[in-house]
Amino acid sequence: MALATQSTKIAIAVVMTFVGSQVRAQSASSTEAEIAALKKQLRLMEEKLDRLQKQTAAKATAKTEANAKVSVDANGVVPVKAPAAPPDTIVKMPNNRPTICTADEQNCIALTSRLNFDAGGYDYRPNTANTKPQRLDDGVNARRARIGVLGKFLGDWNYVLFYTFAGSSDGFAGTASAGGTTVDFLPGGGLSGIERAYLSYTGVKPFGGQLAIEGGYMKVPYALDEATSSNDTLFLERASSEVIAVNIAAGNRRSAFGARWYNDIFWAGAYATGPTTGAIHSASSTNPNGSTEQLGATVRVAGQVISGNDYSLHLGANAEFLIKPPHNLVDNSFTLKLDDRPELRIDPTEVIGTGSMTGVSGAQVYSAEAAATYGPLFFQGEYFWYNVARNNLPGLPSLKFDGGYAQASLVLTGETHPYIPAYAAYGGIIPANPFSLWGGGWGAWEIAGRVSTISLNDQLD
């Protein structure tokens, strides 16, 4: 209002000045009619300015009232518009895994699943008529079928819980045979489908590396191919020499507590281990017999000793100890059995084994590992030396076995296997052009071969 009035006064003053100057300039010759005409024009201009001032004031009042209707709340207080609040959660898809995190990403939960489906057949030719089994069955198998959750809380605590539904080859059958009669396992034994259930703490980060302290039912990171995810292994099954070694006191579904430390070059880890999930904890069961807790340990050191843009070399060594073998409290026996199924497990029948070795007081396994990449070429191999001590019965000699494998591949589409320092192992190839029927990508194609050997015959013939 004050601004509009002041503007009007200034305008009138300007007009008056202009009129006055005109009158003085023409004072000598102006007539009364001309003066009257000028006065009339001045009055018309004043009226026009007055109407304009009233219109401006009315618009300002209407705008103020409209703002008051929108902004004033029930208590007559005009609220101040606050900025939009940040979201409480974040949803993301790392590696195509649905993940929900708090806004500070200190707490997360993610869904995970895995399905490995196999189909094929065997050209199986036993050496003699006494070899067992005499034949293997062709067919199909859901080799791995898992679902679970994983994530972290309070920033440095990580958790994993997997459950498995693949029974025929992963060993979670619900019955056992005793004396030709099929019997049910005891509650808590054999029926367990827990694949992993463990916690890991990563809050200590010395020397610029990553230290993880973890425990629960887990996959103990012992030996190279076992440290490799089953999503990334070159073949659907690991070599028998490795499977037999890790089954003594390591492997998947193993109760364990330990730590691992790594950086981009070096990895070291050590774990104390116990029985696997589904072990029969009973001192009175005879179908099948229960046994006390076993105790073992593993140690692994490995690293990427040479690396470049398209090449790398990995070396490592492992040691595994069965400190306290399973003790059957029903018949007071200490036994250990080394065995494995085919490296194509459509038929899960045992094809190699020592049988139950009695009087076992402990066992040790030592191994060396090597792997390398050169562009699309990949090589990996391990060799194992087994020693079984049998001091719980007099006169029984210790037994020694050995075995290993070598495998290689060529990625026809040019990709290379990436190195994963957290596991001191190589990951699977990542297609440069993911397969798509409509997008034109052919994915990644790889051919691979393996030579595998193991001898379990020392002093057992």
DSSP states along 435-459? --TTT------EEEEEEEEEE--TT
Q: What is the pLDDT of residue 39?
A: 77
Q: What is the pLDDT of residue 461?
A: 47
Q: What is the pLDDT of residues 336-355, one digit of tens each?
A: 999 998 888 888 888 888 98
pLDDT at 169 over 50: no
What does the block give as tokens for 380?
Answer: 């990996």
Q: How far apart are CA 369 and CA 406, in angstroms?
A: 10
62: Cβ–Cβ under 8 A, 6 or more apart, which residues? none
Which helix (DSSP H) or strand (DSSP E) does residue 403 occupy?
strand 399-411
Q: How far apart are CA 197 and CA 441, in angstroms?
A: 38
Q: What is the pLDDT of residues 401-435, one digit of tens each?
A: 999 999 999 999 999 999 999 999 999 999 988 88
What does the block give as tokens for 390?
Answer: 């049998």
Q: What is the pLDDT of residue 53?
A: 79
Longest dimension (CA), the chain: 151
Q: What is the pLDDT of residue 179?
A: 42
Question: Which residues is 372 bridged to in the sheet?
Answer: 313, 379
Question: Which residues is 366 bridged to in the sheet?
Answer: 319, 385
Return the minimum-mean-pLDDT range out of 55-59, 227-231, 336-340, 365-369. 55-59
Taking residues 73-98, what's their average pLDDT?
A: 72
Higher-confidence residue: 370 or 45?
A: 370
What is the overall mean pLDDT for the chain? 82
Higher-confidence residue: 296 or 190?
A: 296
Q: What is the pLDDT of residue 8?
A: 44
Q: How far is CA 220 from the centre of its chain?
A: 16
pLDDT at 59 over 80: no
350 SS3 class: coil
Return the minimum-mean-pLDDT range out of 123-137, 258-272, 396-410, 418-432. 123-137
Return the minimum-mean-pLDDT range out of 5-14, 41-50, 222-231, 310-319. 5-14
Q: What is the pLDDT of residues 171-187, one digit of tens each?
A: 444 444 444 444 554 44
What predicted TM-score, i.e. pTM, was given to this entire model? 0.75
3 SS3 class: helix
Q: What is the pLDDT of residue 459?
A: 57
- Other Cβ atoms less than 10 A from the Cβ of 427: the count is 14
Contact indicator for 393, 436 with CB cutoff of 8 Å: no
| Of the candidates 448, 429, 426, the residue with the CA atom closest to the CA atom of residue 307 | 426
Q: How far apart are CA 247 and CA 240, in angstroms?
A: 10
Task: Calculate helix-pair angle for 32-71, 2-25, nearest 10 degrees.
Answer: 170
φ and ψ at residue 436, rounded to 5 degrees:
-155, 130
Taking residues 124-138, what's their average pLDDT?
A: 86
| Of the candidates 239, 266, 245, 274, the residue with the CA atom closest to the CA atom of residue 387 | 245
Q: What is the pLDDT of residues 241-252, one digit of tens each?
A: 999 999 999 998
Taking residues 121-137, what's their average pLDDT?
A: 86
pLDDT at 127 over 60: yes
Give the confidence band of 47 by pLDDT, cuts at 50, 70, 90: confident
Give the confidence band of 222 by pLDDT, cuts at 50, 70, 90: very high
Q: How far apart are CA 142 and CA 199, in angstroms?
A: 28
φ and ψ at residue 151, rounded to 5 degrees:
170, -155
Q: How far apart are CA 65 and CA 444, in angstroms?
A: 69
